[in-house]
Structure 1
Amino acid sequence: MEALRQDDPRRFGPYTVLARLRETASAVQYLAHAATAPDAVVITAARPELAALPAFRRRFQAEADTADRLTGDRARPKPAVADDTPSDAADESPDEDLLWTAGPYVPALTLAEAIGTTGPLPERAVRILGAGIAETLSRAHATGAVLQGLAPRTVLLAGDGPRLTAFGPLGAAAAAEARPGGQLSVRLGYLTPEQVAGEEPGPASDLFVLGLLLAYAATGTTPLADGPAAEGAERIARTAPELGAVPEELRDLVARCLEKAPADRPSAGTVAAELALEGAAGMAKGGWLPEALAAAVAEQGARAREAVASGRPIEEPADGSVPASSEGPAEGPADAPVGAPVDAPADAAAEGPVDAPPGEPVDTPPGAPTDRPIP
């Protein structure tokens, strides 16, 4: 968590912005609160240069709708997330060009922040992390959706278990930029063998990326994705992963997730059961994070509560706090994208590997909560 910068917005609809939480290639997340509600919220605001593109706006809105459907809170997303907040809150924004969503704030670190702070996670924490993600994947795949939204910076480690910060390629993008002619370029940090071959990702693609994340959480490095980005596609497509540093009890499951042929990978339900038969939530009861990470999460929550109580923006990070905009080590997977960018013209339909699933509505308003617990 860090102080606001000079050009950061100070309000979104009814929400007063208190601090920066973290940023990604496509958006910035802020800690905020409304005067009529006691709890903090997270505002996810699209970068203005991207929000100006019709193709980006459609994708942003479609991914917000997908996240909302998967969590099951409402049949249709609204700009407001709290029951006592007006549903037309987004219309109160001082800048009609702002594109943003609001969701409940939960103190947490991204997986990239956690690994950068304390190094690899203990095996039990890796099991809980993987089981929680796999449970959400299983729910998503049952609806016919493919997330494409897994990356070290889209996975949150909260005190009560893992959470996902966003669904879809915009959340997991290692790079997103406007191109001449109104084109949008989105480059994912992790590709899969089938994507390298030019095929559309399916449910098994999410399992491949989950295998990469499990290895990263357990070792601090990512098989196949670390190293020179220019060689990444070749490694993903043809190189066998080196898993010697992965704990022996997890090695076989990670290897099966990283099979080159999608049909050879396990289902999300199988992964969830093998990692935590009693479920991620049950296994996480009583604490699951290493002491240093649990303390950092608690400190972040305390600072957020103080800011909400005072109603004043946070001026500077407390000593020893973890900067929320940190995305891990410079050589980490968040900074080592593989594969070529996927370009889409501004008037393209929302389809293909970096768009919403086939049939996904692209004209729904933004506003679905983007920080969601993994049930």
Structure 2
Amino acid sequence: MKRPAIAVTGLGMITPVGHTTDTTWDGVCAGVSPARTVPELLGCEVDFACTVSGIDLDDAVGGRTAFRMGRYVKFALLAAREAVADAGLDPAHWDGTRVAVVVGTSSGGSAGLTEQAVALERRGPGATSPSGILLTIPNMPAAEIAIGMRATGPSLAPCTACSSGVTALSVARDMLTLGQCDIAIAGATESIVFPVAMTGLVLERADDARARGAVPRALIAGAGATTDAHHPTSPHPSGDVARAAVDAALRDAGWQAEDVDHVNAHGTSTPLNDATEAALIGRSYPHRPPVTAPKGVLGHCMGAAGAIEAGLTILTLQHGVVPPIANLDAPEPGFDIDCVTKTPREVPVRRAVSHSFGFGGQNAVIALQAP
């Protein structure tokens, strides 16, 4: 049986450079990081970060339910609302039994858990929130989206560290392929010591989307996942297992390496990770497609990073523009890759891949193509 094409029909983002998809894209293309000193980190050796600011989350969420939501949940709900509206869907009129929600996270509500622990120690049990559990458990972003969107289909919260977002997209794609749902709201969210970011995507079978008159932003062509089984934080120095995830995604998409027009790299700007990934890119894509890495602008959004970067890759497909890697003049000597630096590069992009490599050696790669 032929596998149905899966379309991304809606995007929603809240990131350190924008509270919407459009403003995030503009910020990433500008190539300027919003990193600043963060009060929560004062006294630490590193006291700066890229954070979401300039938005009243409670006011944006609205209603009387915001009190029970951690910041990571509010980000998720707001991004999901934008994605659903962008897809031209209305939860008041869809069959909620056929709508799934898959929202990944790396650390869930660890910030909320820390706040509750400090309150307990300093002021006693009476100072803790009666909603303490809801402020910390990792499935609450998916749960609150399901409640707010009247989505009564499957609801999942995958955790694969920094690759959680791509894992969520891959799971949602499989659910649509298997007929377990007709619409999937997928993405990832994160808020550790401070607010970070969230991306939501609406996925549908492409035929279903076109039948209702929706124009897909992109198609998910393939996905691949592997585990290094090597070290809790360091990648396997050979890069062979991560490359196997790339190969699996290309094989799933039915592509050859030379079909890839652009690579959105994990690009953490750490010596081991960058050296391993640069070598992987050089071996996997010898034709040297243009490479970007959004963490130079956004910082590392942890569990949300993969979803944000997949969303930005979709926007590159749409606009034919590869954003620059912020704070990079040129790749390290010996890195045989074509890094986009200084300014955005206009280039036709029909097929692209986005890499996500997480702590624990969890590798996830997603292949995206123009509709």
TM-score of the superposed pair, with normalisation by structure 2: 0.27
Q: TM-score, normalised by structure 1?
A: 0.27
